Amino acid sequence: MSEKKTISLLEKMRNGEELSSLQQIAMVIELSIPAILAQLSSLIMQYIDASMVGRLGAGSSAAIGLVSSTTWLFGGLSMAAATGFTVQIAKRIGAKKDKAARNIVKQGLICVTLFSLLMTCAGAAISSRLPVWLGGEEAICPGAAQYFLVFALSLPFVALNYTASGMLQCSGNMKTPGILEIVMCILDVVFNALLIFPTREISFLGAQITLPGADLGITGAAFGTALSEVVTVFLLMYFLLVRSQSLRLRRKEKLVFSSADLSAALKIAVPVAIEQTITCGAYIAFTRIVSPLGSTAIAANSFAITAESLCYMPGYGIGASATTIIGQCIGAKRSDITKRLGWLTTLTGMLVMTVSGGLMFLFAPQMIALLTPDKAIRKLGAEVLRIEAFAEPMYAASIVASGVFRGAGDTAVSGILSFVSMWVVRIPLAAILAPAYGLQGIWTAMCIELIFRGILFLTLLAVRFRKKADNGDYYYR
């Protein structure tokens, strides 16, 4: 399935041409496959990355796991800022207003950069005290603080990565961001190999080779990730601003700051930011519940989250394609197929993650074993993974439905549902179960909450698609 064919189907949709059921299915599959493959490749590299840190011992793994929920928060806010502009680009391209889309690209890159610099300052300011606030053991706090500081300094590149990648995806180009995601992960592994460990001898094809190393440990892992982000951002910018057929810069087109565009960006981004704050704030509270269980539980929790990513990241790939499809449908005023494509992408995500959840249940011990040699961590990590496997189909429903809502510019609802689900169900239930059942009880609470969240998102999706809006742009009630 070629990218050219995918763009052709999107063009047919934008031109108001009839799309058969098979063509609609083909469009969803063609847009989703590159994103899914990119997510899977990214996770494989993250596995290798986590395995490298795991070789440093449970304490090092626990140090990174302690601050990981906070890095998700800062990364989520970066993604929210990017979403404010990428959704608008999808709608402009759907409406064949490419010049307006290019002006939004320029505004978005500038605004996201400025916002990310503010986050860098905030992250650097709290880095030294953050591990203490999260209840980390004294032995792991210095390493956790160093890791988070390097991450905070790299935030402008993280934010621009989200932005440029999202802009290309919303133009219909899912392939290039996917390839560059793979490149970034390979670079991460290479940089980590050079920065985490000391200079050492390795055997390659029967020959002994001296591999140089900086012996920076946890800090080296942070620098490796940051350097891979820097290289990838420059490549993404090249493809966005020089090579993209619809979004590349034109000499005669000057930057015009539009109050309407910026206002629309805020209306889209603020609810997404609130959702990310709610969700990641709950993850931070979740980490705070796990912390008293000790380094083994913290490390097992972190590794299990990494392992579970192999199951749910394909859902995020399909969610990204849903945002592109629905955004362009609405821009092209194709209310005749918006509802069908919304359900089609959601059900596709549920099917894919049902299969991946089954595989996770079967191979949980092997998945954790790849990440750590510690037997206690392996046993505990495999147990909680098998608990979580039952939630994957409904987790998929919430992920992809959220992508549908983003494509429609209807971003507030996801935050509301996430708040109810995370703070009313997951956190109280985890706090109740943790003292008696340990990490297994905490992950049982997570499983119940994800199933509940999926039901909420499916219910709202049905409500939104029940009745066509008066203006014909979106099924909404």
Of the pLDDT bands very low, low, confident and very high (cuts 50, 70, 90), residue 41 is low
Between residues 196 and 66, the one the model is more confident about: 196
How high does pLDDT run on average in the chain?
Answer: 86
Q: 273-277, 381-385, 418-422: which range is least confident on average?
A: 273-277
Say what the pLDDT of residue 4 is: 52
Task: Please state the rounded mean pLDDT for residues 359-384.
Answer: 90
Domain layout of the chain by residue ranges: 3-464
Say what the pLDDT of residue 125 is: 97
What is the Cα–Cα distance from 20 to 27, expressed in whole angstroms? 11
What is the Cα–Cα distance from 447 to 170, expressed in whole angstroms? 32
Say what the pLDDT of residue 473 is: 43
Q: Which distant-in-sequence residues (6+ apart) come within 8 Å of 46 by Cβ?
A: 185, 306, 309
DSSP 8-class letter at 391: G
CB 104 within 8 A of CB 88: yes
Say what the pLDDT of residue 6 is: 52
pLDDT for residue 49 is more than 70:
no
Say what the pLDDT of residue 242 is: 96
Q: How far is CA 364 from CA 73, 115, 378, 442, 460, in A?
A: 27, 39, 9, 17, 33
pLDDT for residue 470 is more than 50:
no
First and final C-alpha spacing in the chain: 36
Say what the pLDDT of residue 37 is: 67
Instruction: Name the percent of the chain lying above pLDDT 90.
Output: 44
B/e letters for 352-387, b = 16+ CB within 10 Å, e = fewer, are: bbeebbeebbeebeebbbbbbebeebbebbbbbbbb
Beta bridge partners of 475: 468
* Segment 255-302, tens digit of pLDDT: 999 999 999 999 989 888 888 888 888 878 887 898 888 888 888 888
Q: Quote the radius of gyration of the chain (alpha carbons, Å).
A: 22
DSSP 8-class letter at 334: -
Say what the pLDDT of residue 46 is: 55
CB 429 within 8 A of CB 445: yes
* Segment 158-185, tens digit of pLDDT: 999 989 998 998 888 888 988 898 888 8
Contacts by 443-448, CB closer than 8 A, 24 or more apart: 443/304, 443/384, 443/387, 443/388, 444/387, 446/286, 446/388, 446/391, 447/387, 447/388, 447/390, 447/391, 448/391
For the four alpha carbons of 365, 366, 370 and 373, in that order, the dihedral sign comes to positive
Q: Which distant-in-sequence residues (6+ apart) come within 8 Å of 287 by Cβ?
A: 65, 66, 68, 69, 134, 298, 301
3-state secondary structure (DSSP) of residue 210: strand
What is the Cα–Cα distance from 461 to 455, expressed in whole angstroms? 10
H/E segment holding residue 245 = none
- Phi/psi of residue 204, nearest 5 degrees: -135, 115
Say what the pLDDT of residue 39 is: 60
The model's pTM: 0.75
Of the pLDDT bands very low, low, confident and very high (cuts 50, 70, 90), residue 472 is very low
pLDDT for residue 153 is more than 50:
yes
CB 48 within 8 A of CB 20: no
Q: 52-56, 128-132, 248-252: which range is least confident on average?
A: 52-56
pLDDT for residue 126 is more than 80:
yes
Between residues 240 and 294, the one the model is more confident about: 240
Residue identified by tokens 């009630």 is 477
If phi > 0 it is left, if psi is from -120 to 50 it is alpha, else beta; for residue 294 that is left
Reference 322, options 271, 269, 255, 397; nearest CA is 397
CB 113 within 8 A of CB 353: no
CB 187 within 8 A of CB 227: yes
pLDDT for residue 436 is more than 50:
yes
What is the Cα–Cα distance from 220 to 206, expressed in whole angstroms? 28
Task: Please state the rounded mean pLDDT for residues 333-348.
Answer: 87
State the alpha helices, DSSP H only, in 389-426.
392-407, 412-419
